[in-house]
Amino acid sequence: MGHDKLRKFAENRTFSCLLQPDAADVLDRSSADAGLHLKEHPIRGHWNEKMFDAPRPIVLELGCGKGDYTIALAERHPECNYIGVDIKGARLWKGAKYATQQSLGNVAFLRTRIEFIGAFFAPGEVAEIWLTFSDPQLKSENSRLTSPLFLERYRGFLAPGGRVHLKTDSRFLYEYSLATARANGLTVLCADTDIYAAEGDTLGPTDLGMTGMASDLLTVQTFYERMFLEMGLPITYLSFLLDHDGPFVHPADFDADYWRRAEGPRRTFSHQRPKQLKQ
């Protein structure tokens, strides 16, 4: 491990805005059943009192990387508390250090696997979830952050009427997420295949029910988003409510093979826009 990573890991331990639990704190190994069994972390239900300077609606960004999107939203919207979640401590260091230096009382970070997220939040504790440029997991449906498996986890702590926002360059993940939302009868608030297109833009505060959200979508950008835009790739956006009471089902009409082919070699960051998506 490089000296720079070691330095960041050491400094991470000094940031009061960064929670770094051990896996043993949330994994219940006493069960004889196969599968993932979690136990409640002490922070569960107490984020507003223990991690922020005032109680406010809580917004999660899952897979936040260096935390630039979490930080930008927090600075724009002091009326909410923001938590960036990622497993990479060296990435979280940047956001946690900035939040500490700027004394941002409405920012926190959590270092954990997203599979463990249910151990950290009580029912109704979270108002919104952001998924920004998540790995589309082309071959593993249950690993996609909008799969029925993850939607069930989110429902465990998302407040009634809570929103899920997906912002991605992956048309595969966008189409899969939209198909999943429709298959489960979820209320789709906005579905846009190119938020920066000059024509046919569907975004707007009225459509989204949130003042200023359209501006945030277009001007708050992650490192990857800026890179994809420079490559000429369209950025998609999907927003929906988890207003569904029964079991979540997989989308039967999603053509994974087609959208996987259309995706192309996106993870090499060197591909051209697929011809199938130019229409």
The residues that are catalytic are 135
Counting beta carbons within 10 angstroms of the beta carbon of residue 3, is it exposed (0 to 12), middle (13 to 18) or buried (19 or more)?
exposed
Contact 275, 175 (CB under 8 A): no
Bridge partners (DSSP) listed for residue 270: none
Beta carbons of 129 and 44 less than 8 angstroms apart: no
One-letter amino acid at 49 equals: E
42: tokens are 């002490």
Q: Measuring CA to CA, which residue among 188, 189, 195, 204 is closest to residue 236?
A: 195
Cα-flanking dihedrals φ and ψ of residue 123, to 5°? -55, 130
CA distances to 39, 100, 233, 256, 264 from 179, in Å: 32, 40, 22, 11, 20
| Token representation of residue 34 | 């196969």
Of how many residues is the chain composed? 279
